[in-house]
Amino acid sequence: MDELIRISKEIVASDDEAKTLGLSEFEYAFYTAVANNDSARELMQADKLRELAVVLTQRVRENASIDWTIKESVRAKLKVIVKRTLRQFGYPPDMQLLATETVLKQAEMIADELAEKREW
């Protein structure tokens, strides 16, 4: 029960932070992926991380129609897009690999969610 209470509090806190930042659910998922380490937060201002999350969301949505059944091909294409975007925003090089993998996981979940919504 304590674990459920802790998780509920985290969800509420996340929703509040997303609203404060003015980010959608998808944008906030990417924001947490790129702002989850101290060196990124130290080198980049919150506004720049927020803008990066918005751009990542746009670029993933632009590629949302990709056939995710061929995941390796999709992951390779999105990996290039994400890496270029991170570099474009001056994301810390030592954290790019971890951020890229986290963003790719988020992108796959978002694509699955969007596909489910289209089926309705």
Cβ burial 35-54 (10 Å sphere, 16+ → b, else e): bebeebeeebeeeebbebbb
Among the ranges given (71-75, 93-97, 115-119), the one the predictor scored with the smallest mean pLDDT: 115-119
**Looking at residue 45, what is its pLDDT?**
72
Query: Are the beta carbons of 74 and 66 closer than 8 angstroms?
Result: yes
Question: pLDDT tens for residues 70-92?
Answer: 667 777 888 888 899 999 988 88
Q: Are 86 and 96 in contact (CB under 8 A)?
A: yes
For the segment 22-33, what is each residue's pLDDT rounded down to a tens digit?
777 777 777 777
Give the model's confidence band at 120: pLDDT under 50 very low, under 70 low, under 90 confident, else very high: very low
Tell me the C-alpha distance between 53 and 29, whole Å: 8
Q: Looking at the predicted structure, is the pLDDT value of residue 117 above 70?
A: no
Predicted structure pTM score: 0.62
Q: What are phi and psi of 44, to 5 degrees?
A: -120, 140
